[in-house]
Amino acid sequence: MEILSPAGSPEGLAASIKGGCDAVYLGGNAFGARAFSKNFSDAEIEGAVNYAHDRGVKVYVTVNTLIKDSEMDDAVSFVRFLDDIDADAVLIQDLGLLGQIGNLDIRKHASTQMGIHSASGLEWCSENGIDRAVLARELTFEELSSVVKGSKIETEVFVQGAMCYCISGGCLLSSLAGGRSGNRGQCAQPCRKSYTIGEKEGFFLSNADLYGVDWLERLKSIGVSAVKIEGRMRSHAYAYLATKVYSMADRGCPEEEIEKTSDLLKTVFNRGFCDGYLPGISSLVQPGYADNRGYFLGSVRVIEKKFDLSGLKEQVNVRDGISIFKGKDKIGGFKISSLGKATAPFRIEDGVYDIYRTYDPRIDEIKNIVGKAPELRGKGARNKCMRDIRKTVRRPRDPELSFYVGSLKVLDTVIGYADRIYYDLNESTSAAGKICADNSVEFAVNLPRFRPQMDLEVSDHDVMVNTPDQMYHYSDRRRYGSHHMNMFNSDFPAVMHQTTLSAELSKREIEYIAEHHAGRIEVMVFGRTELMCTRDAGIAAGVLGDELEHEFPVYRDGFGLAHLLNSSDLLLLPYMSELSSMGIDSVGIDLRKRPVSLAKTVAEAYGNKDIGMKGRITEMCGSINYGHYLRGVN
pLDDT tens-digit series, residues 574-602: 999 999 999 999 999 999 999 999 999 99
Q: Rounded to whole angstroms, how far apart are CA atoms 183 and 84?
A: 27
What b-and-e string marks burial along 377-400, b requiring 16 or more CB atoms within 10 Å of the CB? ebeeeeeebeeeeeeeebeeeebb
pLDDT at 137: 97
Q: Which of 97, 94, 95 is nearest to 73 (CA)?
A: 97
Considering only CA atoms, which of 300, 313, 314 is closest in space to residue 342? Answer: 300
CB 28 within 8 A of CB 42: yes
**The predicted structure's pLDDT at residue 36:** 63
Instruction: Report residue 37's pLDDT band, with 50, 70 and 90 as the boundaries.
Output: low
pLDDT digits (tens, 9 = 90+) for 85-96: 999 999 999 999
Helix, strand or coil, per DSSP, at residue 32: coil
pLDDT tens by residue, 110-151: 999 999 999 999 999 999 999 999 999 999 999 999 999 999
3-state secondary structure labels for all residues of 51-108: HHHHCCCEEEEEECCCCCHHHHHHHHHHHHHHHHCCCCEEEECCHHHHHHCCCCCCEE
Cα distance between residue 565 and residue 554, in whole Å:
6
pLDDT of residue 87: 98
Q: How many residues does the chain have?
A: 634
- Across the strands, what pairs with 25? 6, 60
DSSP state for residue 303 in the 8-state scheme: B
Indicate whether this model's pTM tops 0.85. yes
Mean pLDDT of 372-395: 90
CA distance 408 to 390: 44
Same fold, 2-165+210-274 and 400-527+572-617: yes
Spatial separation of the C-alpha atoms in residues 116 and 325, rounded to whole Å: 40
Order of strands across the sheet that contains 195-197: 200-202, 195-197, 542-545, 551-556, 562-565, 530-534
According to the model, what pLDDT value does residue 560 have? Answer: 96
Say how far apart CA 617 and CA 540 lie, in whole Å.
28
First vs last C-alpha separation in the chain? 38
- 3-state SS of 104-136? CCCEEEECHHHCCCCHHHHHHHHHCCCCEEECC
Q: Would you state the pLDDT for residue 386?
A: 87
Q: Could you report the per-residue pLDDT of 204-235, keeping only the tens digit for each?
A: 999 999 999 999 999 999 999 999 999 999 99
Spell out the residues 6+ positions from residue 375 whose beta carbon is closer than 8 angstroms to its own.
10, 47
- Print burial letters for 26-57: b (CB count within 10 Å at least 16), e (below 16): bbbebbbbbbebbbbebebbbbbbbbbeeeeb
CA 111 to CA 393: how far, in whole Å?
34
> So what's the pLDDT on residue 32?
72
Q: What percent of the chain has pLDDT over 70?
A: 99
Query: Whole-number mean pLDDT of the chain?
Result: 96
Q: What is the DSSP string of 208-265?
A: PEEE-GGGHHHHHHTT--EEEE--TTS-HHHHHHHHHHHHHHHHT--HHHHHHHHHHH
**Domain range annotation of the chain:** 2-165+210-274, 296-356, 400-527+572-617
Confidence band, pLDDT 50/70/90 cuts, at residue 39: confident
Q: Which one-letter amino acid corresponds to residue 316?
A: V
**304 exposed, middle or buried (CB, 10 Å; 0-12, 13-18, 19+)?**
exposed
Cβ(138)–Cβ(118) below 8 Å: no
Average pLDDT on 162-180 reads: 93
Q: Are 247 and 216 in contact (CB under 8 A)?
A: no
Q: Which fold has domain 400-527+572-617?
A: TIM Barrel (3.20.20)
Residue 212 and residue 265: Cα distance in Å, rounded? 13
Fold classification of 2-165+210-274 is: TIM Barrel (3.20.20)
DSSP 454: -
